[in-house]
Amino acid sequence: MEPMSSSPAASRRAAAIARHLAGNPAAKFASLLEPFSCLGYVPPESNEQPPAFALGDLRRLLDGHDLGVRDWMFRVMEQSTLFCSRHGGPGPAGRVFASPDFNKDKEGLREATMRRIGYLARRGVFRGWLTDTEGDAEAELRRIALLDCIGVYDHSLAIKIGVHFFLWGSAIKFLGTKRHHDKWLSDTENYVIKGCFSMTELGHGSNVRGIETVATYDIKTREFVINTPCESAQKYWIGGAANHATHTIVFAQLHINGRNEGVHAFVAQIRDEHENVMPNIQIADCGHKIGLNGVDNGRIWFNNIRVPRENLLNLVADVLPDGQYVSTIDDPDQRFAAFLSPLTLGRVNIAVNAVYISKVGVAIAVRYALSRRAFSVTPDGPEMLLLDYPSHQRRLLPLLAKACLMSSAGNFMKRMYVKRTPELNKSIHIYSSALKATLTWQNMTTLQECREACGGQGLKTENRIGIFKAEFDVQSTFEGDNNVLMQQVSKALYAEFLTAKRKNQPFKGLGLEHLNGPCPVIPDYLTSGTLRSSSFQMDLLCLRERDLLKRFTTEVSNYLAQGENREKALMLSYQLAEDLARAFTERTILQIFLEDEKNIPTGSLKDILGLLRSLYVMVCIDESASFLRYGCLSRENVAAARKEVMTLCSELRPHALAIVSSFGIPDAFLSPLAFDWIEANARSSGNE
């Protein structure tokens, strides 16, 4: 064997071996066998800086009203094992979470929903909801606040209650008269009568004018004969019909002496006091759904059933005993709109509930991202919190900003609805259509991103975000398909444009007053300061809306000039219609938030609201091709806005925990993932 080389490298290796062999060999091996330090849960509150603002101040802004009522409602649910039966940690000291048991089959979920409604009724939650003679706006806002909280717990429970009180009950109250109120409202409020709302048919959903159910007046017996003439006329997706409803509002074409007077609303009993289906009525279950299985959706067929003349809800129109048709509204279109008025509150509730579910999803994902670590920047450094990664901030913090701005929009819509007047009906319809569509779409986007941001834990039903996706998917299509609603918004804006031009009057209402002034001018070069300026942000969104409204009306006019009728011309212009409706809605949301922000005194909260608002606008620019497509912004300025998103996210990052904590959602209504997710998954936890 040749002698060892005396090179420097060989010398270093020899020295390293000598150091390795020095000392007690047993001690060396023992140190190698010491247990590795395992990950431990550290609450986000331990690492994050104290809030820079009073959490209650932001909550008052975001919730808008009835904070005490909301807290009471959450406590009512937390106090019952019907709502809180699951523990997020081992032993009796484990954290309790309020969530339905989605392991039940649909029959079990439906039974649980009914038991919870009974409990809430006994606790007085529904007292005065329909019989309160005050009828003031504050009382109506309280009812909406209570339903907000119920929806945070379970969508099925909220929908079941909403159908009974806000569809069936509101139809009786607002489309009926004293004879209907005296007969049905008290029993409805006490849940003696269980109501449902039969509008949608197998063949017609959004096109209510086209429904095929027929109600023919029989002058001899002074009754309406209601009939399902064909399979496509079966009432479909009727919440509450499959198992529990005793009565329903039937929307049908009213025929008198061979003349069709259009769609009207009638009261029909579909089950007796023993829950037996009434004669000449057939009911079938819609079956298992991808979500919302705590609601018994059913199908209904009417085989020439007879209801008294007095069962026509006659506030808007009536039929006299001799068959004479009378109405307080001469215009058939306005009359039809009045019959659809109960749907407006449904859209308001759906839109607001979507924001609260987004808040739950974002709160869980942000708290998890502030306690979960992954990888490290340096070889020997600590693993980083997820929310310290710029890419993770980009995923979650824009969703946080949107949830905050959309909260203001929801409050605006609620206040407008409860103070409604006949003059406001058109505006309420347009705003509720635009915001219901936009807020429910955003909710699904939020839930998907939050689910992915939580990795495999997001798949667990107990962590809520994943199951929410299935539970709330339906919001995109019920109470009006979102795409159809947005088309209605563009049509309404087109009509406003034509009216203003024809009368040579300024625009008034719907926030369109900006069209009366000069066209905003956008600087060629946008600095960070300009991008964050509220006046620039409003100018930009107004410029886009103004430009798209002009383009849309021009394109429709061109189709009309080619011989197309108005409906066909509007239909062919659907691409611009989509962009216009989105532009209107995003400008509306920004304008509403600016009004709220204006009322906040100078200080840290106002600064954070500015960050949220600026992030919302920059993300709107980043996510919509319309700014670049129609030349509102140059490529360089779009790129500048995109870069600003990253900067804003980093500045908002220190405040993320404080913002989600200000949502006012109790810990029990989040999920194990938002807290000690290691303990919640321990062998001793008993979770399966």
Cβ atoms of residues 352 and 441 within 8 Å: no
Angle of helix 604-623 versus helix 574-598 axis, rounded to 10: 170
Q: Rounded to an integer, what distance in angstroms lies between the CA atom of residue 556 and that of residue 23?
A: 90
Locate 102 and state its tokens.
């989605």
Beta strands in 177-296 (DSSP E): 195-198, 214-218, 223-227, 235-239, 247-256, 259-269, 281-285
The active-site residue, picked from 479, 496, 545, 578, is 479
CA dihedral 186, 415, 74, 657 (to 10 degrees): 170
Specify whether the CB–CB gap between 70 and 143 falls below 8 A: no
The neighbour count for residue 424, using CB atoms within 10 Å, is 14
Dist CA 634 CA 642 (whole Å)? 12
Residues at the binding site are 200, 239
Tokens 């609620």 -> residue? 414
Instruction: Dihedral sign for Cα 503, 505, 510, 515, please.
Output: positive
3-state secondary structure of 297: strand
Q: Are 175 and 187 spatial neighbours (Cβ–Cβ below 8 Å)?
A: no
**Number of neighbours of residue 376 by Cβ within 10 angstroms:** 11
Give residue 589's Cα distance to chain centre. 14
Annotated binding site for FAD: 200, 239
Tell me the C-alpha distance between 471 and 28, whole Å.
Answer: 57
* 3-class secondary-structure state, position 89: coil
378: left (phi over 0), alpha (psi -120 to 50) or beta: beta
Q: 318 has which bridge partners?
A: 326
Catalytic site includes residue 479: yes
Rounded Cα distance between 287 and 237, Å, is 10
DSSP 8-class letter at 163:
I
Whether residue 386 contacts residue 373, with contact meaning beta carbons closer than 8 Å, is answered with yes
Between strands 247-256 and 214-218, the pairing is parallel
CA pair distance 397, 414, nearest whole angstrom: 26
* Dist. CA 510–CA 512, nearest whole Å: 5
Q: In the chain, how many H helices and how many E strands?
A: 26, 15
Known catalytic residues are: 479
